[in-house]
Copies of this chain bind each other. A is one copy, B any other.
Amino acid sequence: MHSSVPNSMLGERNGAPRTAIEETVERLREDILSGHFPPGSKLRIEELRKRYGGGVSTIREAMARLMSESLVVSEEQRGFRAAPMSLRDFTEISDMRKFLECRALRKSIEIGDDDWEAQLVAAYHKLTKVEERLHNGVREAGLQRSWAQANKAYHDALVSACGNSWLMRIRALLHRQSERYLRYSLVHSAPTRDVHQEHEAIYKAAMERDADTACELICRHIDNTVRVIKEALSQRLSEHDAAADHIGKAP
């Protein structure tokens, strides 16, 4: 560590990374998600070392871990790159998400108990509060971030009773991928349409245990988001190279 005070004396900083690797993973992930390292761009060890500090192996292991999230790809003896992006890839991700989200939601509605309902009520309430402020045009620092968080929590709560940890894990993986496209498209999706109405409808269907309606609604919900992102994305694409299938520059 760089500090002279050992970590263990700082107490358990909630959620904060404890090892250099974890910290590097988080910073690098954010830098890829935010587009600081464009899709397909080379990730040189020395460059990252200067940026994040730490030794070679620390950087290397951080990248190995991000490979499991498919945010980093590697070619043998040829180093690492930020994972490429493409409209096709985004389509595939979204298809999978619709598919898995429906499955998980259906199961949750089927077997969810009072605990599940309680959690859902709470998450929906929080999301509503944030979306109200967004809708009223409140200018507040980090509101966008709060919304993203509340939105994720709400959708997680919806499916949290599905009873299959693999389903949850894979769902989370795809959500993160999707979020990358959202951020790359520069769309701040919340204000662009009345998302809250969609959330409300799904919430009601779930609480009424109407699985068919809930699935139908959530598919439409994802479709709507996808449409907005794709529009922004192909626009951003055409600024550079309309014919290009993949996104970003590969120096």
Write the residues of chain A forming the contact surface with B, with a CB cutoff of 8 angstroms: 18-19, 22, 56-57, 60-61, 64-65, 67-68, 76-77, 89, 92-93, 95-96, 99, 103, 163-167, 170, 174
CB closest chain-B residue, reference A56: B57
Instruction: Label chain A's interface by main secondary structure.
Output: helix
For A18, list chain B residues within 8 Å (CB): 76-77
Q: How many subunits of this chain does the assembly comprise? A: 2
User: A100 to nearest B CB, angstroms?
Assistant: 9
Please give the distance in Å from A200's CB to the nearest CB on chain B.
29
Inter-subunit contact A164/B95 (CB<8 Å): yes
Determine how close the nearest CB of chain B comes to the CB of A178; give it in whole angstroms. 11
Contact A164 B77 (CB under 8 A): no
B76, B165, B166: the one contacting A22 at CB < 8 Å is B76
Q: Which of B60, B61, B92, B166 contacts A164 (CB 8 A)?
A: B92
CA distance A95 to B168 in the complex (A): 13
Q: How far apart sit A18 and B75, CA to CA, in the bound complex (Å)?
A: 11
Q: How close is A85's CB to chain B, nearest CB, in angstroms?
A: 13
Decide: B166 and A77 in contact? CB cutoff 8 A: no
Could you show 29 A-B contacts with beta carbons less than 8 Å apart?
A: A18-B76, A18-B77, A19-B76, A19-B77, A22-B76, A56-B57, A57-B57, A57-B60, A57-B61, A61-B61, A61-B64, A64-B64, A64-B65, A64-B68, A65-B67, A65-B68, A67-B68, A89-B165, A92-B164, A92-B165, A92-B166, A92-B167, A93-B166, A95-B164, A96-B164, A96-B166, A96-B170, A99-B103, A170-B170
